[in-house]
Every structure is written in C-alpha cells, then in structure tokens.
C-alpha cells in the first residue's frame, strides 16, 4: 500500500510540474511549485518507510520549512517594481 501511495504522489507531482510549465501567469507557477514542495515532503516521508530508514523524517521537516520560506521570499520580491514591469512586458 505504501508503494501505491508513492505512485499516486509521483503522478500528482507530474501534474503540478505540468501546471508550472503551462501556467499562464506567474502566480500559477508559484502555486504549482508550492504544491510540488508539499508533495515532496510526503514523498520523503513515505520513501523513508519503504527503505526502512525513518531518519528521513528530519529531512522532511526541514524541507517543509524551506519550502515555506522560499514561497514567502519570492512573494516579497513580487511587490518590487521590476517584477511588475517584466510581467507587463510579457503581455
């Protein structure tokens, strides 16, 4: 059953990456990358159990925090004028 959950999470990660590549606006891409990060946390936890090494959970905790900080960091940058200009040039 762990293998089934692993495969399901892989499928969802592929879907998220598809949306990150397609995404018409920048926010779609950030959203997809955020979802990809949360799914990575789950993937690391399940992989740790399948390989019989639950020590991987420490890495999962750190990954969850890094994911959050990276999203907030990118969004902080989004209030910048340069960011808005590049968005408008695309249109």
Length of the chain: 91
User: How is residue 34 written in tokens?
Assistant: 């955020």
Give the number of residues in contact with another protein, rule: CB under 8 A: 42
Q: Is 43 exposed, middle or buried (0-12, 13-18, 19+ CB in 10 A)?
A: buried
Does 33 engage in binding with another protein (CB under 8 A)?
Answer: no
Asked if 67 and 33 touch (Cβ cutoff 8 Å), the reply is no
Interaction site with another protein (CB under 8 A): 1-2, 4-5, 8-9, 11-12, 15-16, 18-19, 25, 27-28, 30-32, 34-35, 38-39, 41-42, 45-46, 49, 54, 57-58, 60-61, 64-65, 68, 71-72, 75, 78-79, 84, 87
């Amino acid at each position: 059953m762990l293998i089934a959950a692993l495969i399901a999470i892989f499928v969802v990660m592929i879907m998220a990456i598809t949306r990150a590549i397609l995404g018409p606006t920048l926010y779609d891409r950030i959203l997809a990358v955020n979802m990809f990060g949360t799914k990575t946390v789950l993937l690391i936890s399940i992989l740790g159990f399948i390989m019989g090494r639950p020590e991987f959970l420490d890495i999962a905790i750190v990954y969850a925090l890094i994911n959050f900080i990276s999203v907030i960091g990118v969004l902080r940058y989004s209030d910048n004028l340069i960011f808005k200009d590049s968005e408008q040039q695309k249109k």
